Structure 1
Amino acid sequence: MCYSRNMQVKIFGLRGCFFGIANMILVKRMRETLYSALLLQDISFFDNETVGDLTSRLGSDCQQVSRVIGNDLNLILRNAVQGTGALIYLLILSWPLGLCTLIICSTLAAVMLIYGMYQKKAAKLTQEFTASANQVAQEAFSLMRTVRIYGTENLELERYKLWLEKLASISLRQSAAYGFWNLSFNTLYHSTQVIAVLVGGTFILGGHITAEKLTKFILYSEWLIYSTWWVGDNLSSLMQSVGASEKVFQLMDLLPSDQFISKGLKLQRLVGQIEFVNVSFYYPSRAAIPVLQHVNLSVHPGQVVAIVGLSGSGKSTLVNLLLRLYEPTNGQILIDGFPLRELDIKWFRERIGYVGQEPKLFRMDISSNIRYGCTRDISQKDVEWAAKQAYAHDFISSLPNGYETVVDDDLLSGGQKQRIAIARAILRDPAILILDEATSALDAESEHNIKGVLRAIGSDFTTKRTVIVIAHRLSTIQAADRIVVMNGGQIIEMGNHRELLHQDGLYARLTRRQADAVA
């Protein structure tokens, strides 16, 4: 008996070990699959989803699923086998008593299913509310300086408490449902004992069953009831995991963006001829508000074209369409005479350098940030050359670990981050260079130096780059070959600096206003 018990413990231990390994593999693959699916979505997908929600799905939701194989399925399988064996033995001992016990267990199973379905819905709401609470906290922590300056600590606390109260409300109802489940179990459990004693006593008096068999029956019926209870309890946990992971599986089933599925054209060489042909665009979430309307623009290879205009005029949207972060609603964009939609997007982006107004750097060393996304072999000498061109080498060298310094938000100023981003763009040796307010955070001297670098960036190479510059500081783009003035999503003026001043339109007014502001 002792040997049999030891064997049972070893078998259960091995089973638990195997389930634990399977659980580890499952969660690892789930997170990899989910992360891969999210990375391959269109930019519009991330416009509608919050960072806090997505990171919550990757973190707590996937971990919640780990309970399925690591614990719940393990115990459900064990107790289901034990309960089935106990039921078969009860029917062999006395099928009338066995049927009575089976009816009670069936009632318990029905209550268990109702409770499990409720737990599934409650778990889904819990994960949604938790993700929303995480998003509020993430926003407050990332904008802590703004919170501190405006003294809105209590406001942020109230926003967070709102979601915590919703979570508490769900937890309260879950506790009430669990109490109902336990009350049902205890009632049916004691009912089984009463029925077994009353009916069994009658059978003993009638000579249909012996006292020994009745004792065995009571013991095995308790085993069956407790196995049913354990199955129900773990099934409710399983339903919680299913409810929590429902959003995870929906995200995992998302198809990748067409940009990553379709195999486009790869030209022998990107010359840099860009044409916007009757391009219109509106964001899907704001279909009634056009951002661009019938834009026609040609940019010739090697030209420096500046795009200016009031805020909201569509300047950055034009660049986003060129980068194919969005697709035009109407019209098309031609690159060297080929529709942008037909080109291999990865090949095309490898040949573009882009510097945004607020460049984001990764939490890695500065050298890796400058190398980021460059597919050709890069030496440290190349990295330092690019940094020198962007006037970043001196301040990088003055840091404690030089190019090996890990980037931190408090370590670098906005202008320093922009210079690292410019060095990254220069290192790519791009055929098309896009600068979206790329010098906005630079001091006057650095801006003057970098303007010269960007203007003659192709001097060390056999080809000259096509450069598109978006700028609010009109002093930075006066030497551009062509200046495009936008307003209300349309091009209203075009020419060089002198021609636009002579037209005395919007560009001339903006130039005078900035000159007055400086004076």
Structure 2
Amino acid sequence: MQVNIFGLRSCCFGIANMILVRRMREKLYDALLLQDISFFDEETVGDLTSRLGADCQQVSRVFGTDLNMIARNVVQGTGALIYLFILSWPLALSTLVICSALATIMLIHGQYQKKAAKLSQELTACANEVAQETFSLVRTVRAYGMEKHEFGRYIKWLGLLSNVYLRQSMAFGFWSSSFNFLYHSTQVIAVLIGGISIISGRITAEQLTKFILYSEWLIYSTWWVGDNWSSLMQSIGASEKVFLLMDLLPSNQFLSPGRRLQKLEGHVDFVNISFRYPSRLMVPVLRQVSLSVHPNEVVAIAGLSGSGKSTLVNLLLRLYEPTDGQILVDGVPLVELDIKWLRERIGFVGQEPRLFRMDVSSNIKYGCPREVTDEEVEWAAKQANAHEFILSLPNGYGTLVDDSLLSGGQKQRIAIARAILREPNILILDEATSALDAESEHYVKRVLRLVQNGSNLRRTVIIIAHRLSTIQAADRIIVMDRGRIVEMGDHMELIQKDGLYARLAKRQTDAFA
């Protein structure tokens, strides 16, 4: 019967543990996904994945083992203590004093283990971050012969982690020694006081024997409670950061539903926009920038690196909020619009498009707000000059994407196809042709010409490019420098002005001469 009850209790705690860990991971992942981009600028990927993995798993010990064993031993210890008082209250008091001393050491040891566990989880996250970064950049590491350097970075964190584990082991040794000393002290006291009680006739030898057995039961119950209490404190220490992350409120853009316009024309106004990244508040990125982009207009933004070109796009996508000023879309402030609805109508290709580890067709369909057919996927790939190389892959559109499988230019073409498939009202190309060869760039520029000539692809297009050959046919070219707009006009007008754009064009011409 006892075995069945034990098995039933373990089963119930195991099920509760599974449900707890699953819900914890779900809530943590959901909380992280809804944070502002600035949150991910400050947190490392290795740290967040460590919280999702190791830290949540550490919490599973709470229900799976710790609380289970604590509950069991508290019940057993309480029963033993009651019986000891029935047998002999003087002996029971002496045993209770020793158990109290043991419990005090247990609490101190548990608090230490909690702090040590929190520190060890942080160090583990740092070590995981180094390993993840090294493996993701292994080609760079190999090319520069930095294997020993990266190994040194990793073992530095492992050394710090080993020191924490060493101190934890020493603390556990102290706890075990204290238990052994107090346990044997209980036996000695029981024999001395019990012997005196037998001589005086207050208890019998049989009662003393029972007392010693039940006192051992009480001491061992206290030991197991202490051991599992220390483990419980470790789990709590390891999960503190998890609970802090779970309690984070979602980004403001997800809290309010916002407005949905009947039709998005694609008129964008940047009104006196200033911006500083939260991680670099002392460095102004944009300074009082005002710009209007008209519906169905192709606007190119050029300038030196760090001039604020990509930041304008990030603000339009509402990845960040302007420090000052506001952005209007069709005359409506961006903060008042339903951001999910707006993003469904924007096609975006970033500087370094990253593809997901799924087949090519799924990568092209990714984020499309409507159901699409295979024919539409192929059409988008043809527009981006990606269809032929996709067919040459082992399984065509069903080929699983791998970083080593595709070149940078091929990834960019798939990303462009993904943006075209959405049939967006606003198309943003942020250095989207930087890794393309001349022929592929020619096809992408053909798509831009279709936009300008009023075909069914007609939409507002914002292009950011260092390669000026990509943007010469734009309706307007905006030239930025140090966070300000310094020039504006078409290609020939800017060349004739002989300003920054003309100098950039001359440098690129000289580079290819």
Same fold (TM over 0.5): yes
Tell me the equivalent position of 2:14.
20
Question: 1:287 Cα deviation (Å)?
Answer: 1.2
Q: How does the TM-score come out when normalised to structure 1?
A: 0.98
Higher mean Cα deviation, 195-204 or 449-458? 449-458
Residue 450 (structure 2) pairs with residue 456 (structure 1)? yes
AA matched with 1:508: A
- The 5 A counterparts of 1:56-75 are 56-75=50-69
1:100–1:74 Cα change, 3 Å: same
Structure 1 distance, partners of 2:460, 2:331, is: 15
Question: 1:459 Cα deviation (Å)?
Answer: 6.9
Residue 171 (structure 2) pairs with residue 209 (structure 1)? no
Unaligned runs of 5+ in 2: none
Tell me the equivalent position of 1:93.
87
Question: 1:376 Cα deviation (Å)?
Answer: 0.8
Residue 356 (structure 2) pairs with residue 362 (structure 1)? yes
Residue 104 (structure 2) pairs with residue 110 (structure 1)? yes
SS of 2:270 mapped into structure 1: strand
SS of 2:347 mapped into structure 1: strand
Structure 2 distance, partners of 1:253, 1:305, is: 42
Tell me the equivalent position of 1:314.
308
1:221–1:461 Cα change, 3 Å: farther
AA matched with 2:318: R
Structure 2 distance, partners of 1:460, 1:305, is: 15
List per-residue Cα deviations over 1:33-75 (Å, max 9, x = no partner).
1000000000000000000000000001101000110111111
Structure 2 distance, partners of 1:460, 1:405, is: 35
Question: Of 184, 187, 191, which aligns to 2:185?
Answer: 191
Question: 1:455 Cα deviation (Å)?
Answer: 2.7
SS of 1:442 mapped into structure 2: coil
SS of 1:494 mapped into structure 2: strand
AA matched with 1:262: S
Tell me the equivalent position of 2:270.
276
Residue 437 (structure 2) pairs with residue 443 (structure 1)? yes
Question: 1:463 Cα deviation (Å)?
Answer: 7.0
- The 5 A counterparts of 1:8-407 are 8-407=2-401
Structure 2 distance, partners of 1:454, 1:414, is: 21
SS of 2:284 mapped into structure 1: coil
Structure 1 distance, partners of 2:150, 2:439, is: 40
SS of 1:102 mapped into structure 2: helix
SS of 1:248 mapped into structure 2: helix
Question: Of 483, 494, 501, which aligns to 1:500?
Answer: 494
SS of 2:31 mapped into structure 1: helix
Question: 1:460 Cα deviation (Å)?
Answer: 8.5
Higher mean Cα deviation, 279-288 or 359-368? 279-288
Q: Answer whether contact 2:273 2:325 (CA < 8 A) is retained.
A: yes
Question: 1:263 Cα deviation (Å)?
Answer: 1.2
Unaligned runs of 5+ in 1: 1-6
Structure 1 distance, partners of 2:390, 2:443, is: 17
Structure 2 distance, partners of 1:393, 1:332, is: 40
Structure 1 distance, partners of 2:481, 2:432, is: 21
Question: 1:106 Cα deviation (Å)?
Answer: 0.6
What is the aligned residue count?
Answer: 513
Identity across matched positions, percent: 75
Question: 1:398 Cα deviation (Å)?
Answer: 1.4
Residue 440 (structure 2) pairs with residue 474 (structure 1)? no
AA matched with 2:161: L
Tell me the equivalent position of 2:414.
420
Q: Answer whether contact 2:383 2:443 (CA < 8 A) is retained.
A: no
Question: 1:284 Cα deviation (Å)?
Answer: 1.5
Structure 1 distance, partners of 2:261, 2:413, is: 31
1:458–1:264 Cα change, 3 Å: farther
Question: 1:286 Cα deviation (Å)?
Answer: 1.3
SS of 2:17 mapped into structure 1: helix
Q: Answer whether contact 2:123 2:161 (CA < 8 A) is retained.
A: yes
List per-residue Cα deviations over 1:187-218 (Å, max 9, x = no partner).
11011000000001011111111111010000
Question: 1:384 Cα deviation (Å)?
Answer: 0.7
Question: 1:397 Cα deviation (Å)?
Answer: 1.0
SS of 2:405 mapped into structure 1: coil
SS of 1:456 mapped into structure 2: helix
Structure 2 distance, partners of 1:498, 1:395, is: 36
Structure 1 distance, partners of 2:188, 2:171, is: 26
Q: Answer whether contact 2:426 2:460 (CA < 8 A) is retained.
A: yes
AA matched with 1:85: G
Q: Answer whether contact 1:301 1:464 (CA < 8 A) is retained.
A: no
1:34–1:459 Cα change, 3 Å: farther
Please identify runs of 4+ aligned residues in structure 1 that moved more than 3 A.
457-463
Root-mean-square deviation (Å): 1.0
AA matched with 1:95: W
SS of 1:424 mapped into structure 2: helix
Question: 1:449 Cα deviation (Å)?
Answer: 1.4
Question: 1:462 Cα deviation (Å)?
Answer: 5.2
Question: 1:454 Cα deviation (Å)?
Answer: 2.5
List per-residue Cα deviations over 1:232-261 (Å, max 9, x = no partner).
000100000000011001000000001111
Q: Answer whether contact 2:41 2:279 (CA < 8 A) is retained.
A: no
AA matched with 1:155: H
